[in-house]
Structure 1
């Protein structure tokens, strides 16, 4: 059985991974209720995260990649830390700027 800390780490372990970067060629408008990100943040998400986390944050690689309620499981600082440093199956997202990471974390922390 996983501890809460391991489960949280695993849940976001693939947060915003580069497991299929589409190079930003995805749709410019996602009209689902979960994808209410500000324009720039949505573009970062589509370019770097959609292939693992899905176009509706539903997760495409198992339940641990579902981000629809990630804000109920993790704080903004925890999300920032996970994106920056990775963990378990998620590599660090060192190609994202601090501003991009902050935007993603702010938006995702509101998902509860």
Structure 2
């Protein structure tokens, strides 16, 4: 939650401090992103990549996770980890809910 609020505050500050149309457009897009996508980009993208396809053999391809796994399974993996994935990467309940919801949309 703290990361989300800090990101949102940064977007507001940057959009208020600039008259550059391109920066304003980027800020608008960032503020309209699904909260779960924001959490993913802050927490998961390093291993699973921007395209959700994973990096190397240790990070699972998540691009079709919503059609392959249940929300309960996804939540359990995020909370408890697996062989190569650490547990408790997302500790804020609202961020976790948003991340699971967004991942379920990936089909």
Question: Is TM (by shorter chain) over 0.5?
Answer: yes
Cα distance change of structure 1 residues 96 and 54 upon mapping to structure 2, 3 Å threshold = same
CA contact (8 A) 2:75 2:96 kept: yes
Residue 98 (structure 1) aligned with residue 105 (structure 2): no
- When Rg is computed on C-alpha atoms for both structures, the one with the higher figure is 2
| 1:62 corresponds to which of 57, 64, 67 | 57
| 2:37 corresponds to which of 42, 46, 49 | 42
Residue 8 of structure 1 aligns with which residue? none
Higher relative contact order (CA 8 A, sep 6+): 1
Q: CA deviation at 1:71?
A: 1.2
CA distance in 1, matches of 2:77, 2:56: 17
Unaligned segments of structure 2, at least 5 residues: 1-6, 8-25
CA distance in 2, matches of 1:92, 1:99: 17
Unaligned segments of structure 1, at least 5 residues: 1-23, 32-36
Normalising by the residue count of structure 2, what TM-score does the alignment of the two structures yield? Answer: 0.62
Misfit runs of 4+, over 3 Å: none
Number of residue pairs aligned between Structure 1 and Structure 2: 80
CA distance in 1, matches of 2:69, 2:90: 22
| 1:79 corresponds to which of 49, 69, 74 | 74
Bigger fraction of residues in helix: 2
Normalising by the residue count of structure 1, what TM-score does the alignment of the two structures yield? Answer: 0.59
CA RMSD of aligned residues (A): 2.7
Q: CA deviation at 1:61?
A: 2.4
